[in-house]
């Protein structure tokens, strides 16, 4: 995006389609001047003279004719979302109404906003750092209770505050090292060696702690991809239907009924789950079924968690062992199905599963289903309460930057321990500061910023 912060931009800020209210948002130095000629009140009050953040009642007019009865509000800089003058017109929520109001603002000199440009201006004008700007997008797109809470936590600035504290410690050490370069006769680094190591070791420990939250934070924000796999007729589709509490997948006693992956979404106590029902794994000459099995293998590779469904009322077959061999041990749960047909608490072959965690249930009766759901929640994030009380990394960009910061700090510690010169230590510290700055957007390249904000909806 080629952007000019002095442009006055406009966009529809509400979802497309019919609704009770539609909002047209205008931001920039000419925001009031653009909307003022379109807006009429019954009295003498105008947008130009209106107090900031006060709603005015009136009409939007086109060529002197009333178009829609609206409320309008001026939010004056810097006390607005973008820290520029912002005008919002709250009109009736028909698609034609909002589009016409938007077109009138464009005719008056506003430019159509790019996706995410309002939030980009909030970032560039210092109202939001990059982690909180990303949290805005995550909040809008949240698909579960946990995702909503993680986004709200980030929007409050918890990660930003932690990164700034880490940067202060690294900057303090960098200042001492710089002094050692300027005044070599003082041997500054040696004189402050204990303080330098203590601070950098603290940074290393805290960055490691942040990286430990990355995978769980991603799962809480994005949800969990769960592949349901097994040989034909073990109850994979029945398990999908049981988890969804509806008959979504076709269930028959004919092997090979499921020939493609079937995906459905589920809110599991606040955790967004994407369930992937797959074709049964077995040797077959059927061309279509073989393609379904190939897709099953790809689903296993891409899933966060694999539910390996086994028939607890039957012997363990070679196809079952093939399924267990394909599934990653660290991210697989053995689901022993058909518990209602089992003579004991576990099948005779349970010992063959070794340390693989397992849950016994009946997809037909629902017995054991709550235990499976609780296990999945616990595996995804462990205990979410402490996690939500601290800073969390929630996406790959943040994680990669934190990994870069950790590597730089470890290199600096190694250089100090080896007695290397201050110039080499300074390079490592500068790398660490840049990597931490990347997380909050203080040292982020323009092309990356464009890619991040391009994912936003227009009007946000």
Please give the pLDDT value at position 300: 85
pLDDT at position 450 over 90:
no
Question: In whole angstroms, how far apart are CA 103 and each of 6, 40, 96, 108, 171?
Answer: 20, 17, 10, 9, 49
pLDDT by residue (tens digit) across 26-53?
999 999 999 999 999 988 888 999 999 9
Question: What is residue 41's three-state secondary structure?
Answer: coil
Residue 258 confidence (pLDDT): 47
pLDDT at 260 over 60: no
Give the mean pLDDT of 101-119.
Answer: 94
CA distance linking residue 108 with residue 33, whole number of Å:
9
Span 163-175, average pLDDT: 92
Give the C-alpha separation, 399 to 402, whole Å. 5
pTM above 0.75, yes or no: yes
pLDDT (0 to 100) of residue 246: 72
Q: Which range is least confidently modeled, 106-120, 171-185, 371-385? A: 171-185
Confidence of residue 433 (pLDDT cuts 50, 70, 90): very high
- Express as a percent the part of the chain with pLDDT over 70: 88
Give the phi and the psi of residue 190 in degrees, each rounded to 5: -65, -40
Lowest mean pLDDT among 93-107, 137-151, 370-384, 438-452: 438-452
Return the pLDDT at 154. Answer: 87
Q: Identify the CA nearest to 326 among candidates 311, 308, 314.
A: 308
For the segment 139-164, the average pLDDT, to the nearest whole number, is: 86
Separation CA 23–CA 87 (nearest Å): 10
Q: Which residues contact 253 (CB under 8 A, 6 or more apart)?
A: 233
Question: Tokens 């034609």 sit at which residue?
Answer: 96
Instruction: Output the pLDDT for position 383.
Output: 61
Q: What is the mean pLDDT of residues 350-355?
A: 89
| Residue 188 pLDDT level (bands cut at 50, 70, 90) | low
Of the candidates 333, 118, 310, the residue with the CA atom closest to the CA atom of residue 230: 310
Confidence of residue 177 (pLDDT cuts 50, 70, 90): confident
Predicted confidence at residue 384, as pLDDT, reads 59
- pLDDT computed for residue 285 by the predictor: 56
Does the pLDDT at position 9 exceed 90? yes
3 has pLDDT over 80: no
Q: What is the pLDDT of residues 52-101, one digit of tens each?
A: 999 999 999 998 899 999 999 999 999 999 999 999 999 998 899 999 99
**What's the pLDDT score for residue 253?**
53
When mean pLDDT is compared across 57-61, 196-200, 257-261, 374-378, the lowest value belongs to 257-261
CA distance 367 to 299: 27
Give the pLDDT confidence score for residue 233 in this predicted structure.
Answer: 82
Question: What pLDDT score was predicted for residue 254?
Answer: 46
The pLDDT value given to residue 84 = 96
3-state SS class at 134 = helix
Instruction: Provide the token pair at 225.
Output: 């991809």
Tokens 């017109």 -> residue: 89
Q: How does 349-373 read in b/e, with b if 16+ C-beta sit within 10 Å?
A: ebeebeeeebbbbbbbeeebbeebb
Among the residue ranges 4-8, 72-76, 131-135, 338-342, the one predicted with the least confidence is 4-8
Asked if pLDDT for residue 23 goes beyond 90, the answer is yes
pLDDT class of 182 with cuts at 50, 70, 90: low
Q: What is the pLDDT of residue 385?
A: 61
Per-residue model confidence (pLDDT) at position 411: 96
For residue 118, the model assigns a pLDDT of: 94
Query: What is the pLDDT averaged over residues 8-31?
Result: 93
Lowest-confidence range among 11-25, 44-58, 149-163, 264-278?
Answer: 264-278
* Residue 252 clears pLDDT 50, i.e. is over it: no
Q: Which residue has the tokens 């003022």?
A: 36
Per DSSP, the three-state class of 12 is strand
350 within 8 A of 339, measured Cβ to Cβ: no
Q: Is the pLDDT of residue 2 over 60?
A: no
What's the pLDDT band for 180 if we cut at 50, 70, 90? Answer: low
Q: How many Å apart are CA 247 and CA 251, to the nearest integer?
A: 9
Question: Average of pLDDT values for 317-339?
Answer: 89
């Amino acid at each position: 995006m080629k952007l000019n912060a002095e442009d006055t931009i406009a966009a529809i800020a509400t979802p497309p389609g019919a609704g009770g209210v539609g909002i047209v948002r205008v931001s920039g130095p000419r925001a009031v001047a653009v909307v003022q000629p379109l807006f009429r009140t019954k009295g003498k009050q105008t947008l130009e003279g209106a107090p900031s953040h006060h709603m005015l009642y009136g009409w939007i007019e086109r060529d002197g004719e009333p178009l829609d009865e609206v409320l309008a509000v001026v939010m004056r800089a810097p006390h607005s979302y973008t820290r520029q003058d912002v005008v919002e017109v709250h009109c009736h929520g028909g698609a034609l109404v909002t589009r016409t109001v938007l077109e009138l603002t464009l005719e008056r000199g506003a430019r159509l906003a790019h996706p995410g440009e309002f939030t980009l201006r909030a970032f560039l004008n210092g109202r939001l750092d990059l982690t909180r700007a990303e949290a805005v997008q995550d909040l809008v797109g949240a698909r579960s209770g946990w995702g909503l809470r993680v986004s709200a936590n980030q929007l409050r600035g918890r990660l930003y505050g932690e990164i700034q504290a880490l940067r202060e410690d690294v900057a303090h050490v960098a200042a001492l090292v710089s002094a050692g370069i300027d005044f070599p006769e003082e041997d500054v680094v040696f004189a402050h060696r204990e303080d330098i190591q203590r601070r950098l070791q603290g940074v290393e420990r805290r960055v490691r702690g942040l990286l430990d939250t990355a995978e769980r934070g991603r799962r809480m924000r994005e949800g969990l991809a769960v592949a349901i796999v097994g040989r034909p007729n073990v109850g994979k589709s029945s398990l999908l239907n049981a988890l969804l509490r509806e008959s979504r997948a076709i269930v028959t006693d004919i092997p090979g009924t499921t020939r493609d992956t079937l995906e459905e979404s589920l809110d599991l106590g606040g955790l967004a789950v994407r369930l992937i029902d797959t074709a049964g794994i077995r040797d077959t000459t059927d061309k279509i079924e073989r393609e379904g099995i190939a897709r099953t293998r790809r689903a296993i590779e891409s899933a966060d968690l694999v539910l390996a469904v086994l028939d607890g009322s039957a012997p363990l077959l070679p196809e079952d062992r093939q399924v267990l061999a394909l599934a990653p041990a660290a991210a697989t749960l053995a689901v022993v199905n058909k518990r209602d047909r089992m003579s004991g608490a576990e099948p005779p072959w349970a010992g063959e599963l070794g340390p693989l965690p397992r849950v016994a249930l009946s997809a037909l009766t629902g017995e054991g289903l709550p235990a499976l759901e609780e296990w999945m929640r616990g595996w995804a994030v462990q205990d979410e309460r402490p996690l939500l009380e601290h800073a969390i990394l929630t996406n790959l960009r943040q994680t990669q930057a934190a990994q870069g910061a950790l590597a730089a700090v470890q290199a600096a510690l190694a250089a100090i321990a080896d007695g290397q010169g201050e110039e080499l230590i300074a390079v490592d510290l500068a790398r660490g500061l840049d990597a931490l700055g990347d997380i909050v957007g203080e040292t982020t390249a323009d092309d990356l910023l464009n890619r991040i904000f391009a994912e936003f909806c227009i009007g946000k």
